[in-house]
Copies of this chain bind each other. A is one copy, B any other.
Amino acid sequence: MIRQGCQTMTCSKYSSDTRRVQVDIETARRIAKGVLGAKGCPPDITVEAADHLIDSDLSGVESHGVWRVLQYAGYYDSGYLTADVRPRLEQNARGAWLVNGCGGIGIPAMTLASRNVVTRAKDTGMAAIALQHVGHTGRLGAFAEYAAGQGCLTIIIGGGGRQNWRLVAPYGGRKALMSTNPYCIGVPGGNRGPVIVDFATSAAAAGWVYGAKVAGAKLPEGVLIDRDGRPSTDPQAYFDGGAILTAGGAKGYALAVAAEMIAEAMLGPATTECNWLMLALDCGLYQKPTRLQELAEEVLSELRDCPPAPGFDQVDVPGEREADARTRNRNRPLELPSATWGEILRLAHDLGVETDAPNTG
């Protein structure tokens, strides 16, 4: 399926000439687990993280896919992240809930937070939880899918950490000063499940830039500027002192600054990577789930039926493309950039992880 002007995370941002190799899903999962385990992650964290990354690839969000084991391994080596820790649920002196990630990978911290905030929202109507001292939190959409699936409107906002992560230039500026400060909203939807909004306030998530470099791919125009503020499509321009632009100009920038106030000023200073705020509201406070689904489906079916604009073949509902991709990709090999998979195999080999796979054709 050809889509012109695709801007969602579920079609690859890598240039179409990127060489790719087919990799059996279970082989990729086993090797990802092997690498994380060899670096010292507890077995349960290893399983959860590897499953999460593979699920991102299956969802078509390869910026948050299995290539991240390379990044995480580097973080463990440098001491930026700690492998052998688990997140802890805590309350501060004013009774506010937070998850202390203890400097480990953020995926299990985000799981713990989403379970806790949903349970409390279902009990009292609404709840908030903060996340601090966490590493990379994976694909936020996965946690919003869970919470919305439980009937909660869920809002996740991340920011801070600009001392380590000066990636994005403010609107009107030419120097990278902020992280990609993502927003994720999940809300119960129609007959095909929750509506999920999951985006960086930058023109592309950092994963696309890092991943494109590993994959040897170019990026679309409008994503990067080089160190002199000139437009570039070369991910290397970013690493040579350039910056990622904000999404939608002033609007993405404004959201990014609000995230900075929340995560750095209210919850910070951020230590490891970003700080996060997660809010959940039980939609059942205002509407019966069956009625909500009926009204949602009325809206969403109108959107799906909208005549496409020139260059598009259909109108998508946010979140459905990822869900469709998971269904479609479940029983076929991953198609990973060859360079990326080669690096993962080399790392696994160096760590003594078994890399020979049964031939899956």
Contacts and interface: CB of A to CB of B under 8 A. Distances in A.
Interface of A: 5-8, 92, 94-96, 98, 125-128, 130, 153, 155, 162, 169-175, 177-178, 185, 187-190, 195, 197, 199, 225, 229, 247-255, 257-258, 260-262, 264-269, 277, 279, 281, 283-287, 292-293, 295-296, 299-300, 302-303, 306-310, 312, 314-318
Contact of A257 (B128, B197, B266, B287): B197
B308 A174 contact: yes
Contacts of A261: 187-189, 195, 296, 299
Number of copies of this protein chain within its complex: 2
Contacts of A310: 174, 229
Given A155-B155, A173-B309, 18 more contacts: A5-B172, A7-B249, A8-B250, A94-B286, A95-B125, A95-B285, A98-B286, A162-B302, A170-B315, A173-B306, A174-B309, A177-B303, A247-B248, A260-B299, A261-B296, A265-B287, A265-B299, A269-B295
Contact of A315 (B8, B171, B229, B269): B171
21 contacts: A8-B254, A94-B284, A95-B125, A96-B125, A153-B266, A155-B155, A162-B299, A169-B309, A170-B315, A173-B308, A174-B310, A185-B255, A197-B255, A197-B258, A248-B252, A250-B318, A257-B299, A257-B303, A261-B299, A266-B283, A266-B287
A331 to B, nearest CB: 28
A-side binding surface: helix, strand, loop or mixed? mixed
Contact of A264 (B177, B254, B264, B295): B295
A199 B96 contact: no
A264 B299 contact: yes
Contacts of A258: 185, 187, 195, 197, 318
Contacts of A281: 128, 277, 279
A77 to B, nearest CB: 30
B262 A306 contact: no
Contact of A251 (B94, B199, B253): B199
A285 B251 contact: no
A190 to B, nearest CB: 8
Contacts of A316: 171-172
Contacts of A188: 261, 265-266
A306 B176 CA distance: 9
Most buried by B among A6, A170, A264, A287: A170
Contacts of A254: 8, 197, 199, 318
Contacts of A306: 169-170, 172-175, 177
Most buried by B among A98, A171, A300, A307: A171
A225 B306 CA distance: 15
A277 B7 CA distance: 28
A125 B190 CA distance: 32
Contacts of A98: 286
A175 B125 contact: no
A267 B187 CA distance: 12
Given A266-B187, A295-B265, A296-B265, A318 B173 contact: no
A197 B248 CA distance: 13
A283 B265 CA distance: 10
Contacts of A257: 195, 197, 299-300, 303, 317-318
A45 to B, nearest CB: 26
